[in-house]
Amino acid sequence: MEAVKEVTVWADAKSAVNHTYLLDGDKMVAYIRYGTDEPFWFKNPIKGFSRSGRKFERVDEAIFNMSMNVLAPSNTREVVGSKGQTYIVNLDEHTCTCAGYTFRGTCKHIKELELA
């Protein structure tokens, strides 16, 4: 999981603003709208997050990890998949950021956390 803040200088700065994005590989799982502190979590991650033509700064990992504990909804859990990838499971909405959930609408990560 990684957080990046967009620092692109736009030609039309009045209508274009930069946000902070929470990424899992090339998938965007949430974003923090400019001028706010609350992330908006997607039910399904958005695939193919492109950095093309834009500039980003990585958010300091220590600050990011501390803020994730505060900002992540209490019904979410971070799990590590069988190949070492990190996924976000929302237990209230029964969603996961893994590929299995994207294709089947359910996955072992949700089932394992529900049984725990």
Q: Going residue by residue through the chain, which has 116 residues, state the pLDDT in tens, using 9 for 90 and above.
A: 788 988 888 887 666 788 899 888 888 988 888 878 778 888 888 888 888 888 999 887 655 555 555 445 567 888 888 888 888 888 887 888 888 887 888 889 988 888 76
Euclidean distance between CA atoms 93 and 12, whole angstroms:
38
pLDDT at residue number 70: 47
Q: Which token pair is 73?
A: 């909804």
Euclidean distance between CA atoms 80 and 73, whole angstroms:
18
pLDDT at residue number 72: 53
Give the domain extent around 18.
1-72
Could you give phi then psi for residue 114, rounded to 5 degrees?
-70, -30
Q: Could you tell me if 59 and 4 lie in one domain?
A: yes
**Cα dist. 90→2, 3, 74 in Å?**
18, 19, 9
Q: Could you tell me if 62 and 18 lie in one domain?
A: yes
Domain count, the chain: 2
Q: Could you tell me if 68 and 79 lie in one domain?
A: no
Q: Could you tell me if 111 and 57 lie in one domain?
A: no
Q: Could you tell me if 65 and 98 lie in one domain?
A: no
Query: pTM for the whole thing?
Result: 0.55
Is 70 buried (19+), middle (13-18) or exposed (0-12) by CB count in 10 A? Answer: exposed
Q: Could you tell me if 2 and 51 lie in one domain?
A: yes
Q: Could you tell me if 8 and 63 lie in one domain?
A: yes
Quick one: DSSP state of residue 12?
S
User: Under DSSP, is residue 16 helix (H, G, I), strand (E, B) or coil?
Assistant: coil
